[in-house]
Homo-oligomer: A and B are copies of this chain.
Amino acid sequence: MALPLVSRGKDAQAGACCAPIARQPLSEGDATELAVLLKAVADPVRLRLLSMIGSHAGGEACVCDLTDAFELTAPTISHHLKVLRTAGLIDGERRGTWVYYWIVPETVNRLGALFAR
């Protein structure tokens, strides 16, 4: 029988981890994983990108909707989008000329749960 090797990561992303930070000590493993996620959002440009994608009409935004707000080159914006995507905070797909991005709510909720009262 094949082991479901993929499911552990998916479970973790789905918010199985963790109790609110003020309620229960974090394990070393969970803390390491959450620190990676927090590093991905601990940047002003990436925070703004995340909020622009999440609040865009229809819940998704084209790269073409995002670049005008920044005095940054397209490759720099692409780099920040890649960091968010690698962390599982956004996902995206190409449609014709442009790539469209949307927020992955499970990952954002995980941070919300961590800092919940």
Nearest residue, chain B, Cβ from A69: B25
**In the complex, are the beta carbons of B42 and A26 less than 8 A apart?**
no
Minimal beta-carbon separation of A27 from chain B (angstroms):
8
Q: Which residues of B contact A48 (CB under 8 A)?
A: 25-26, 28, 31
> B111 touching A115 by the CB < 8 A rule?
yes
State whether the Cβ of A51 lies closer than 8 Å to any Cβ in chain B: yes
Q: Mark A22-53, 1 if CB is under 8 A from B, else 0.
A: 11111010011011001101111101101110
A117 to chain B, nearest CB (A): 6
A88 at the interface (CB under 8 A from B): no
- Per-position 1/0 for A1-27, Cβ under 8 A of B: 000000000000000000011111110
Give the distance in Å from the alpha carbon of A115 to the alpha carbon of B117 in the complex.
12
CB distance from A65 to the nearest CB of B (A): 11
Which chain B residues border A47 with CB–CB below 8 Å? 21, 26, 31, 34-35, 38
